[in-house]
Amino acid sequence: MRTLIVLTLLAVLVMAATCYESHESMESHEYLNPFLNRRRANDFIQADTRLRAITHERIRERSKAPQEHQRELCEDYYPCEMYAFRHGYAAAYKHYFGRRRTK
């Protein structure tokens, strides 16, 4: 009988030691309200730098220099590209696309 009481007290002490909720766990406000405000939700998450790089690349594509745009047009047309290897892209563009006029 004495061993049963000692084992019961020991079990109660072990349970109290392992199930005790300390003050540190209650310090955070998540204990009372586990959900975040929408405005505060992104405070601790940094935006993905890859997405930022892709966005900047798309902006650069929209605002290309005229010479770069002409070079890309010339590279897409094989005879213009061959002409550019001998005479340069400016001359090749002028030779193949310079006579076009748009209204």
Q: Give the residue with greater pLDDT, 4 vs 38.
A: 4
The mean pLDDT of 1-16, rounded to a whole number, is 89
Q: HEC states along the chain?
A: CHHHHHHHHHHHHHHHHHHCCCHHHHHCHHHCCCCCCHHHHCCCCCCCHHHHHHHHHHHHHHCCCHHHHHHHHHHHCHHHHHHHHHHCHHHHHHHHHCCCCCC
Question: Which single residue is written with the structure tokens 């594509």?
Answer: 61
Residue pLDDT, tens place only, 24-35: 655 555 556 667
User: What confidence tier does 21 reach under pLDDT thresholds 50, 70, 90?
Assistant: low
Specify the pLDDT at position 19.
Answer: 75
At residue 13, the pLDDT reads 87
Which candidate, 86, 84, 85, places its Cα nearest to that of 96? Answer: 84
Q: What is the pTM of this model?
A: 0.38
Tokens of 86: 């001998």
Express each pLDDT in 33-82 by its tens digit: 667 676 676 666 666 667 777 777 777 666 778 888 888 888 889 999 99
User: Of 53, 45, 2, which is closest to residue 61 (Cα–Cα)?
Assistant: 53
Section 79-89 average pLDDT: 92
